[in-house]
Structure 1
Amino acid sequence: MVSKHEIIEYGNEMPIKISIQNIEDMSRHWHSSLEIYLVLSGSLTVMFEEDTYKLSEDDIILINSNQFHEIKSSNTVAAVLQIKQSFFQQWVDDNTYFECNSVLYHDRNKYLELKKLIARLVHASYNVTEHKSLLIIPLSYNILYELIYNFRIFKADTSSKNSKNLKRLKGIIQYLNDNYAENITLETIAKREYLSASYLSHFFEKNMGISLFNYLAGIRLRHAVADLLHTDLTIEQIAANNGFSNSRYFVSTFKKEYGTLPKQYKKEQKLLNVSENGTKSLQPMLVLKQQDFLNKLGEYLDKNSKNELPEAKYPTRLIVQSINTTMKKQLLHHSFKTFTSVGRAKELLYKNVKEHLQELQKEVGFQYIKFHGILDDSMMLYNEDRNGNPYLVYTYVDDVLDFLLSIGLKPLIQFSFMPKLLSEDSDKTLFYNPVIISKPKDYKKWVYLITELTKHLLKRYGSGEVRTWMFSFWNVPFLSYIFSFETNEITYELYRITRNCVKECDPLLSFGNPSYGSLDFCNSEFYDFLDYCKLHDCYPDFYNIHCYPVKTSSIGSFPTLGKNQSEDSEKDTIILSDDPDYMAHSIEDFKNRIQYYPNLPIYITEWASTSSHCDWLNDTCYRSAYIVKNILDNYDEVESFGNWCLTDILEELPMDNEEFHGELGLFTCHGIKKPAYYAFTFLNKLMDILVDKGEGYFITTNGQSDYTILLYNYHHVSPLYAQGILFNVTFNERYNAFVNPSSLDIHLTLTHVENADYIVTHHVVNRESGSAFDEWVRMGAVPLTDEEEINTLKGRSMPRITKEQITVTNNTMAQFALLHPHEIRLIQIKKAEYSPSCYRP
């Protein structure tokens, strides 16, 4: 497919540009810059005027300035290095030619240093945010030196075309790109160039290896494909808008290039996220795309290279002086304890899940629990007799709810998912252990299901109890999410029907909206739903939202130095947000947008550091620091922060034999507590009055003489890791996802403290204490084979506890803590109730 003539732009006076690209086919073209391709995956064919070379993974090739070349790609991802002509020309003369082609010379050592330099350049380019040029420019000189020293040769005539011809070709190609939608004739271009039409035709084909009008057709086709995929224009309109004489010619050109008709191609592209059995792809949210094509570059990035990025010579120092403990700022409601969660109702029948939940309740004590699937077939609730008449069996539902109430938890009854007998399309499923996400084939039977279940709950548990519960319909069923129905109108109608069924049973039952996510708070979809509610008098009683720090990103190319996303990208994927304050900004955004609608309680019923069920960082100290930072930064800003989720025993993806496979749970499948678990036990020890807070610290008191301080040293993931590019992150070396995180030295001085003796207790979770994953790596990082090994790891993965007794004599107390990266630390200060002599031998 013809690409337009490449004009390489360099920002901020950079002499060099590095990018990671999904390479597309490019017709014959040239540019003044030097260009180097290092193939990371797939294969790449580069065609010069007389020679053709096929490159495989780890091959490298250099394209010289003004050298005509054509590229054919086979699912190729490459590191592409482009060096500005003015940069290298000051060091070489016009007869210099670089011959760097690993297909020709198979001595891999010859290219090793150049690959190392490219790896260092990628590492610095994508991971450094401030004063980047101070690193990039020296590396640029090193790369140029390596090229001159090892790859320079001399040719008598290095240019296959003289500069006049190049200038003329550039002008012609620019004209074609600017006017492709117009009726361009050979005579029009010939007149602009003061040439005859026949000479122009011969000149272009001789120099470009393709006829002028075939080249023009390629330009038109590229723009037409963009219209085809991203607009609802007809084939006739697309053809007319992009310079094709008629739709028949457009279809013929398209089929010749793509091997299929335009409408079929568009359909196939839309189905890329749908699997062969009709289930929706898990890729968009549950499995954020992680790409390991940079692993080879990571191998070239030696230890010294990794450590050369900017790092503070001393720990970041935070000094907060004169915190007046009598200045009480806020009474705390601890809304982070409103919600916890498990995957689906069926899992609450499992012995080990029950044990995990009981332990969490004992140590923290949540009020509500969210889960999916109370209606799906795993609960065996909905049945029909031989005549098609529905009836309900409540055995499993009662078992689940009885258990929850016995440990002090109230349910959010989310009416999902669709029973097979009631589904219009039972093949429309989601998850490895599938649930049906079809609409009902009979709305009257759906009404029967909701009404009878609600009546049963009221009868069994009493209206006084059930009125303290919460109800909602489905899980993010809007079109922008994987749980959606065919249209949003179906969602609106089913929500209204379901809500009205519940309200007719008892109007005092609390019914919220179908959950909605922060990914689309800026879109109109949710607010269109609220407008529907206003029109049909069915507003929810509370707002039910999710907050996962993800965003959409174009794939097909990756951000380059000085640029954001490729404007020509055609597909979107989900990646991690690069905003460390994503939750705070999402809450603020939602509150600003919702102010034009009823003022209702806001419940975040799902949130986590990622939506991915296989992100290795879920098992690390990063997750605990993320939880603590976000809860403390947004303390009581909304009515709940429902962490997703309790345990790694989830049936949405296949189970994994690896104990630490990156699932979202607080417990591993064998009940080993992750650092994230201790984040909640630490938060639970905060007292009820806020004294002061700031970045890295949160100080509370009971209003008497005791204090609890919670500290954290949070570091956000690197820009590369956020994009799903693993680089040098491996299963065991997970903390390579961060760029030189520093320790944090916190000095807190509390004033107006009662003079007395105090017991000060430090509880610490970091990579040395309280992190089961890090302890497992120290044990050898091999699978656990028996109960003894599991129990040993549990015992060795507890938070570190240290205690000391101090005496306050001048109403001032100083607390010092040096926090490692990703560390959380709880400091409990309690007035001693015994004589100091009791503490001495």
Structure 2
Amino acid sequence: MVSKHEIIDYSNEMPIKISIQNMEDMSRHWHSSLEIYLILSGSLTVMFEEGSFKLKEDDIILINSNQFHEIKSSNTVAAVLQIKQSFFERWVDENTYFECNSVLYHSRNKYLKLKKLIAKLVHASYNVTEHKSLLIIPLSYNILYELIYNFRSLKTNTTEKNSKNLKRLKGIIQYLNDNYTENITLEAIAKREYLSASYLSHFFEKNMGISLFNYLSGIRLRHAVSDLLHTDLTIEQIAVNNGFSNSRYFVSLFKKEYGVLPKQYKKEQKEPAVSDNGSKSLQPSMLLLKQQDFLSKLGEYLDKESKNDLPSEKYPTRLIVHSINTTIKKQFLHHSFKTFTSVGRAKELMYKNVRDNLQELQKEVGFQYIKFHGILDDSMMLYNEDRNGNPYLVFTYVDEVLDFLLSLGLKPLIQFSFMPKQLADDTDRTLFYNPVILSKPKDYKKWVYLITEFTKHLLKRYGSSEVRSWMFSFWNVPFLSYIFSFENNEIAYDLYRITRNCVKECDPLLSFGNPSYGSLDFSNSEFYDFLEYCKQHDCYPDFYNIHCYPVKTSSIGTFVILGKSHTENSDKDAIILSDDPDYMAHSIEGFKNSIAAYPKLPIYITEWASTSSHSDWLNDTCYRSAYIVKNILENYDEVESFGNWCLTDILEEMPMDNDEFHGELGLYTCHGIKKPAYHAFTFLNKLMDILVDRGEGYFITTNGKGDYSILLYNYHHVSPLYAQGVLFNVTFTERYNAFVNPSSLDIHLTLTHVENAEYTVTHHVVNRESGSAFDEWVRMGAVPLTTEEEYITLKGRSMPRIMKEQVTVTNNTMAQFALLLPHEIRLIHIKKVEYSPSVYR
């Protein structure tokens, strides 16, 4: 292992570097900077010349400038603070050092102020995006003051000999860093230091714990890795440019250090990790975002008083839009967000609560189609075999579900999933708490029988005219980049073709789409490999079926994401949220560009949400409603559907939870309480059919008869820390700490060419004060609901606020003003008052 000795680089204005590190063992080394370790989890042993100290969670230690030390880590996560030595020179002399070691002095109060300052520094460094240095520099000076005031001491054990040794080592190391690309010899360095080559070699290894040339190789290797990842240079060029004698030696050293060849290392850094069974990024963690809590220790140091020192809500942002000409009709709207709604599985459509919720949603909004999984699951008891192994189908539950949907005016997307147990080749290949089987069929002829007879039954029971208006597809993201995959993509391709052909042979006019595709950024080649397969086998889909979840793999920058996905014995990176607030727009644009060479087909987003996690606390908050409104308005009618996932928290992919607001994806809680996300769709449903104007934060529509519907939103993206699954000071009830510097939005809109008349103006508002069941529950005391009266009370208190006024327009101009709180959505409905002639009689 190459020594972890470092020359720490600082920006011009920042005297301090802060990072959260998953600590590794480090051999004996030193550096000119001061270094502070605050242990967040695990344990760390730091060995000095005068002794060793074992630190555990909540311990803190300072390593002085030019102090030799060695580190042994045991699953340690630490906040690491590195302070430039010259930063102190104005206030302390060269004989000053700092005694800060909680192993020696156990008084918690002695270190509390320093820990608070470090916590604030971490919060500002990772969360604040605007004018960060204006916060960090004062915090740096506060830390400096705290160290000088409470931890300063005098050097008592640094001999003149040690000082000379350090000066010589510093000079040698600086020379190596400045000249690592050259042909450096031991003799040349020895001559430069007026030493013999053998003495120099012994001196360096004794003081650094590593030979001089191994240390030099480490410097060269680090620079070579940077070239490897960030340039297109050949291996030979990288080797030469970084001082290696030849590429063979470079490759040998690289493999010894990193365990793989350079080209493979570069490839792995650009691609998702591959699991033992060949699946890239196999992620139940996509479904259960790993909210890291090792930083909760830092959050504990931020009491209410110190939290107030951090950025809170800013002054309102003002948005003024003058002279919106209401006679200019920009486009007619198709309202494609109403194409799809969804529930988890076909089986759930037999539950009374789910049926009641769906019936209410359909009455208030009115969707065309519904997406669900598992119509072939054993829970639907469709596929059976007799004692001789002959297959037969029982349609009782399937018919009940489909009859119910059709009674609501909903048409199904029949997704042929998942594998019945009697037909599965591998019954142990399962997913979810209430498991589904992800196996290929053990008998393809029986699979053909299942699909063919099922399709024939639908045509016979409901009629070809009706069923031709439905949609069909095979499986849910069965490609290797996702959790529902088969052993390889060829199985997915072949089963898609076989399934599609079975359906088309029953009726060629049935609409069959691709297996839903949900790659992290729509750039993975496997979907386009699938389209090439379709081209070769003449089995193109009739529509594109995609998902859009704003997630990606860790880690970002210097921040280390820890933890395992929620499958046993998995060590894959957790899935984290994208830091791109316009992820959906960029994804749609990227997908359209990528399929330009393929047939132009309708694009349906059949699943999307603000996260793929079933336990993201923001799912219950106003953030989710603002996310829905922002993304639908900014991408209005760009694709044929925006199928929000999903209807209710009754979703059997993860264990049920006793907490009413546990972060599930539903529009309703398990007990049928509407979340803010539900109201987002009722607001969208009140938009009219003609677009007048749109911009960031507003969307104005009209019916062409003098009435208007305006939808406003004040969206704020999650903080960088929260996006990485780090809670920090976010708690079960303090969920809005996931945002930094949220500001109100002061909107002024002026509509011109408005007919002079009387108007009723109605504001419908959802924010933390009204329309948010979670925030209302917190105000009720944040304790579990236990009685029917409490549920009814919460439901009643969680409706949007309504404000009405009468307005007279006399100069063909109407101004609308609204101050939107962070995460607020607001619908303004403007209706011309029509007076009946009888009024004047």
Q: Give the TM-score, by structure 2 length.
A: 0.89
Whole-Å Cα distance in 2 between the matches of residues 289 and 313 of structure 1?
A: 30
By how many angstroms is 1:225 displaced? 13
By how many angstroms is 1:167 displaced? 2.8
Residue 106 of structure 2: aligned partner: 106
What do the CA deviations read for 1:7-65 (whole angstroms, capped 9, x no partner)? 22223531111111111221111111111111111111111123111111111111111
Instruction: Give, as a single letter, the amino acid of the residue that structure 2 aligns with 1:167.
Output: K
Residue 692 of structure 1: aligned partner: 693
What do the CA deviations read for 1:132-191 (whole angstroms, capped 9, x no partner)? 112111111111111111111111554745244313652697699989xx9x99889878
Whole-Å Cα distance in 2 between the matches of residues 415 and 194 of structure 1?
A: 79
> Judging changes above 3 Å, is the alpha-carbon distance between structure 1 residues 418 and 736 closer, same or farther for their aligned structure 2 residues?
same
Whole-Å Cα distance in 2 between the matches of residues 826 and 34 of structure 1?
A: 55
Residue 778 of structure 2: aligned partner: 777
By how many angstroms is 1:305 displaced? 3.9
Cα pair 2:274 2:280 within 8 Å, conserved: no
Whole-Å Cα distance in 2 between the matches of residues 65 and 739 of structure 1?
A: 35
> Judging changes above 3 Å, is the alpha-carbon distance between structure 1 residues 27 and 218 closer, same or farther for their aligned structure 2 residues?
farther
Cα pair 1:22 1:557 within 8 Å, conserved: no
Whole-Å Cα distance in 1 between the matches of residues 358 and 798 of structure 2?
A: 19
Residue 452 of structure 2: aligned partner: 451
Instruction: Give, as a single letter, the amino acid of the residue that structure 1 aligns with 2:607.
Output: E
Cα pair 2:383 2:394 within 8 Å, conserved: yes
Cα pair 1:288 1:611 within 8 Å, conserved: yes
Instruction: Give, as a single letter, the amino acid of the residue that structure 1 aligns with 2:467.
Output: V
Please say if 1:594 is aligned against 2:610.
no
> Judging changes above 3 Å, is the alpha-carbon distance between structure 1 residues 316 and 395 closer, same or farther for their aligned structure 2 residues?
same
Cα pair 1:3 1:222 within 8 Å, conserved: no
Please say if 1:525 is aligned against 2:488.
no
Question: How is 1:160-239 mapped onto 2 (pairs within 5 angstroms)?
Answer: 160-162=162-164, 163-167=166-170, 170=173, 196=196, 198-209=198-209
Whole-Å Cα distance in 2 between the matches of residues 338 and 346 of structure 1?
A: 22
Whole-Å Cα distance in 1 between the matches of residues 281 and 696 of structure 2?
A: 41
By how many angstroms is 1:80 displaced? 0.8
Instruction: Give, as a single letter, the amino acid of the residue that structure 1 aligns with 2:83.
Output: I
Instruction: Give, as a single letter, the amino acid of the residue that structure 1 aligns with 2:769.
Output: E
Instruction: Give, as a single letter, the amino acid of the residue that structure 2 aligns with 1:626.
Output: Y
Cα pair 1:519 1:551 within 8 Å, conserved: yes
Question: How is 1:733-772 mapped onto 2 (pairs within 5 angstroms)?
Answer: 733-772=734-773
Whole-Å Cα distance in 2 between the matches of residues 607 and 817 of structure 1?
A: 29
Whole-Å Cα distance in 1 between the matches of residues 558 and 218 of structure 2?
A: 20
Whole-Å Cα distance in 1 between the matches of residues 783 and 479 of structure 2?
A: 43
Residue 642 of structure 2: aligned partner: 641
Cα pair 1:273 1:281 within 8 Å, conserved: no
Please say if 1:430 is aligned against 2:396.
no
Query: Bigger CA drift: 412-421 or 728-737?
Result: 412-421
Cα pair 2:274 2:281 within 8 Å, conserved: no
> Judging changes above 3 Å, is the alpha-carbon distance between structure 1 residues 273 and 808 closer, same or farther for their aligned structure 2 residues?
farther
State the secondary structure of the residue aligned to 1:314.
Answer: strand
Whole-Å Cα distance in 1 between the matches of residues 745 and 39 of structure 2?
A: 40
> Judging changes above 3 Å, is the alpha-carbon distance between structure 1 residues 272 and 42 closer, same or farther for their aligned structure 2 residues?
farther
Residue 403 of structure 2: aligned partner: 402
Residue 63 of structure 2: aligned partner: 63
Instruction: Give, as a single letter, the amino acid of the residue that structure 2 aligns with 1:778.
Output: R
Question: How is 1:241-260 mapped onto 2 (pairs within 5 angstroms)?
Answer: none
> Judging changes above 3 Å, is the alpha-carbon distance between structure 1 residues 596 and 270 closer, same or farther for their aligned structure 2 residues?
closer
Query: Bigger CA drift: 289-298 or 4-13?
Result: 4-13
Instruction: Give, as a single letter, the amino acid of the residue that structure 1 aligns with 2:151.
Output: F
Residue 146 of structure 1: aligned partner: 146
Whole-Å Cα distance in 2 between the matches of residues 7 and 836 of structure 1?
A: 87
By how many angstroms is 1:205 displaced? 3.6
Residue 265 of structure 1: aligned partner: none
Cα pair 2:478 2:515 within 8 Å, conserved: yes
Structure 2: gaps spanning 5 or more residues: 227-234, 236-246, 260-271, 562-570
Whole-Å Cα distance in 1 between the matches of residues 650 and 736 of structure 2?
A: 24
> Judging changes above 3 Å, is the alpha-carbon distance between structure 1 residues 281 and 571 closer, same or farther for their aligned structure 2 residues?
closer
Instruction: Give, as a single letter, the amino acid of the residue that structure 2 aligns with 1:521.
Output: F
Instruction: Give, as a single letter, the amino acid of the residue that structure 1 aligns with 2:27.
Output: S
Instruction: Give, as a single letter, the amino acid of the residue that structure 2 aligns with 1:579.
Output: D
Cα pair 1:22 1:556 within 8 Å, conserved: no
What do the CA deviations read for 1:246-280 (whole angstroms, capped 9, x no partner)? 99xx79x99xxxxxxxxxxxxxx989899xxx999
State the secondary structure of the residue aligned to 1:124.
Answer: helix
Instruction: Give, as a single letter, the amino acid of the residue that structure 2 aligns with 1:435.
Output: V
Residue 614 of structure 1: aligned partner: 615
State the secondary structure of the residue aligned to 1:558.
Answer: coil
Residue 132 of structure 1: aligned partner: 132
State the secondary structure of the residue aligned to 2:691.
Answer: strand
Instruction: Give, as a single letter, the amino acid of the residue that structure 2 aligns with 1:83.
Output: I
Whole-Å Cα distance in 2 between the matches of residues 39 and 178 of structure 1?
A: 37
Please say if 1:623 is aligned against 2:624.
yes
Instruction: Give, as a single letter, the amino acid of the residue that structure 2 aligns with 1:108.
Output: R
State the secondary structure of the residue aligned to 1:118.
Answer: helix
Please say if 1:20 is aligned against 2:20.
yes
State the secondary structure of the residue aligned to 1:67.
Answer: coil
Instruction: Give, as a single letter, the amino acid of the residue that structure 2 aligns with 1:470.
Output: M
Question: How is 1:324-339 mapped onto 2 (pairs within 5 angstroms)?
Answer: 324-339=325-340
Residue 466 of structure 2: aligned partner: 465
Residue 232 of structure 2: aligned partner: none
Residue 564 of structure 1: aligned partner: none
Please say if 1:81 is aligned against 2:84.
no
Cα pair 1:554 1:571 within 8 Å, conserved: no
Whole-Å Cα distance in 1 between the matches of residues 701 and 731 of structure 2?
A: 39
> Judging changes above 3 Å, is the alpha-carbon distance between structure 1 residues 680 and 707 closer, same or farther for their aligned structure 2 residues?
same
> Judging changes above 3 Å, is the alpha-carbon distance between structure 1 residues 191 and 533 closer, same or farther for their aligned structure 2 residues?
farther
By how many angstroms is 1:455 displaced? 1.2
Please say if 1:414 is aligned against 2:412.
no
What do the CA deviations read for 1:687-742 (whole angstroms, capped 9, x no partner)? 10111111111111110011111111111111111111111100000011111311
Instruction: Give, as a single letter, the amino acid of the residue that structure 1 aligns with 2:806.
Output: Q
By how many angstroms is 1:299 displaced? 2.3
Whole-Å Cα distance in 2 between the matches of residues 176 and 473 of structure 1?
A: 60
State the secondary structure of the residue aligned to 2:388.
Answer: coil
Instruction: Give, as a single letter, the amino acid of the residue that structure 2 aligns with 1:128.
Output: V
Whole-Å Cα distance in 2 between the matches of residues 586 and 279 of structure 1?
A: 20
What do the CA deviations read for 1:373-408 (whole angstroms, capped 9, x no partner)? 111211111111222222111111111111111111
> Judging changes above 3 Å, is the alpha-carbon distance between structure 1 residues 217 and 829 closer, same or farther for their aligned structure 2 residues?
closer
Structure 1: gaps spanning 5 or more residues: 227-232, 234-238, 255-268, 561-569
> Judging changes above 3 Å, is the alpha-carbon distance between structure 1 residues 222 and 811 closer, same or farther for their aligned structure 2 residues?
closer
State the secondary structure of the residue aligned to 1:319.
Answer: strand
By how many angstroms is 1:316 displaced? 1.0
Please say if 1:377 is aligned against 2:417.
no
By how many angstroms is 1:193 displaced? 7.1
State the secondary structure of the residue aligned to 2:129.
Answer: coil
Cα pair 1:97 1:158 within 8 Å, conserved: no
Question: How is 1:713-724 mapped onto 2 (pairs within 5 angstroms)?
Answer: 713-724=714-725
Residue 366 of structure 1: aligned partner: 367
State the secondary structure of the residue aligned to 2:554.
Answer: strand
Whole-Å Cα distance in 1 between the matches of residues 218 and 586 of structure 2?
A: 44
> Judging changes above 3 Å, is the alpha-carbon distance between structure 1 residues 312 and 420 closer, same or farther for their aligned structure 2 residues?
closer
Whole-Å Cα distance in 2 between the matches of residues 815 and 381 of structure 1?
A: 56
Cα pair 1:95 1:157 within 8 Å, conserved: no
Cα pair 1:240 1:246 within 8 Å, conserved: no
Residue 8 of structure 2: aligned partner: 8
Whole-Å Cα distance in 1 between the matches of residues 839 and 507 of structure 2?
A: 61
Whole-Å Cα distance in 2 between the matches of residues 130 and 279 of structure 1?
A: 36
Instruction: Give, as a single letter, the amino acid of the residue that structure 1 aligns with 2:459.
Output: L
Query: Bigger CA drift: 371-380 or 201-210?
Result: 201-210
Whole-Å Cα distance in 1 between the matches of residues 145 and 359 of structure 2?
A: 64
Residue 266 of structure 1: aligned partner: none
